[in-house]
Amino acid sequence: MRSRLQLRDRASRRGHAVIEATLLAPWMFFLFLGVFDVGFYAVALICTESAARAAVSYTASSAGTAAHSSGACQYALTEMNARSNARRLASCRASPLTVTAPSVSGADGSAASQVTVTYQTMSLNPVLSLPAPYTIARTVQQRIKSAAP
């Protein structure tokens, strides 16, 4: 049979887990929100890179489209709006999305197209999040495909 001292000691330790969980719950919640916000930012990075690649594929298709910023804008908008966490964007001439497509010379001196997509993220959690808004810029350059002889 257990002594009174053992029963009292067991009863005094019974509430420790509840107190520890109560003290740690806010920290775990804020940690979860922070990780979620970083994931949101990482997806925005991927979306911006994908939009730049889609736009440069269009502008590098021929010499006539090499500096066609409005066409590159449409391809970038299509790519960005296909993503679930991007805002519904209607234009790419002002923040949060800007697209530029100058005609440049490649590293080997050949004609090339370059597209720069700049996207300004929104903050998911303004209390704990990373300083918002972040500006993400991705530049992709591709040689212009020459017409077959």
* Among 90, 95, 53, CA closest to 74: 90
In a domain, 104, yes or no: yes
In a domain, 111, yes or no: yes
User: How confident is residue 5, by pLDDT bands cut at 50, 70 and 90?
Assistant: low
In a domain, 14, yes or no: yes
In a domain, 148, yes or no: no
In a domain, 29, yes or no: yes
Task: Compute the radius of gyration of the chain from its Cα atoms.
Answer: 27
In a domain, 57, yes or no: yes
In a domain, 121, yes or no: yes
Does residue 73 contact residue 92 with C-beta atoms inside 8 Å?
yes
The predicted pLDDT at position 147 comes to: 47
The predicted pLDDT at position 111 comes to: 86
Residues 77-81 have a mean pLDDT of: 87
Q: Which has the higher per-residue pLDDT, 83 or 96?
A: 96
Give the global pTM: 0.74
Convert the pLDDT of each residue in 56-71 to its tens digit: 999 998 888 888 888 8
In a domain, 149, yes or no: no
Domain count along the chain: 1
Which residues form the domain of 133? 4-143
The predicted pLDDT at position 87 comes to: 61
User: How confident is residue 149, by pLDDT bands cut at 50, 70 and 90?
Assistant: very low
Does residue 88 contact residue 81 with C-beta atoms inside 8 Å?
yes
Per the structure block, which two tokens stand in for 67? 């500096």
Q: Residues of the chain with pLDDT > 70: what percent? A: 80
